[in-house]
Structure 1
Amino acid sequence: MSELQREVSELESKSTTAARLFDIRRIIGGLFVVYGIIVTIAGINPSDADLKKAQDVNINLWTGLAMLALGLFFLVWLKLRPVVTPPVTPDEEPSSPDEEPSK
């Protein structure tokens, strides 16, 4: 395996890892799950004043459960449809920056 092929393979590997790591579904799903857990815990034992403000609806509990559901949806979506990076085709010869592209 030539040096160029090794470098291209290494760059492809790093690119794929970065694409998977910074996939927006992972970030949104993780944040919604964390905040959903926090809001759900806050909604488990509401005070009478909190219930009275929300017209006897435990809004923290329902909002927390909805956030958990949405976060889990994003994470399951990420698992079922992972990021696919397009294959990189290396050029036959690396061109220098001052060369004109061939037509």
Structure 2
Amino acid sequence: MAEKKTAGAFDIRTLIGGLLGLYGVVLTVMGLWFTPAAEKEKVDGSNLNLEVGIGLIVVAGVFITWALLRPIRVPAEPSPPQ
């Protein structure tokens, strides 16, 4: 049986999780320190930057956990053309 390796950093779930996490951190920081009261009043006093940022961080954690628990296995060497 051929040896198999994991896709690792090239797994699309890792890339998506990383990007969502990055955007989530940016929105969370914006929501905590850089959202003025006038912007909050536009959405009935809710801090949407903070809420969406936390949601994105949670979803990013799900993607990265999924990639770690169920890695994609690829052949160590490519099969010869037929």
Q: Tell me the TM-score normalized by structure 2.
A: 0.79
Match of 1:49 in 2: 38
Which runs of 5 or more structure 1 residues have no equivalent in the other structure?
1-8, 96-100
Q: How has the CA–CA distance of structure 1 residues 83 and 48 changed in structure 2, closer, same or farther, with 3 Å as cutoff?
A: same
RMSD of the alignment, in Å?
3.0
Aligned ranges 1:1-103 → 2 under 5 Å: 16=5, 19-45=7-33, 46-86=35-75
Find runs of 4+ consecutive structure 1 residues off by over 3 angstroms: 86-91
- Counterpart CA distance in 1 for 2:39 and 2:70 is 40
TM-score by length of 1: 0.64
Which has the larger Rg?
A: 1
Greater relative contact order, per chain length (Cα 8 Å cut-off, separation 6+): 2
CA deviations on 1:35-67 (whole Å, 9 max, x unpaired) are 100000000132111111111111000000000
Instruction: Count residues with an aligned counterpart.
Output: 80
State the identity %. 34
Structure 2 unaligned regions, length at least 5: none
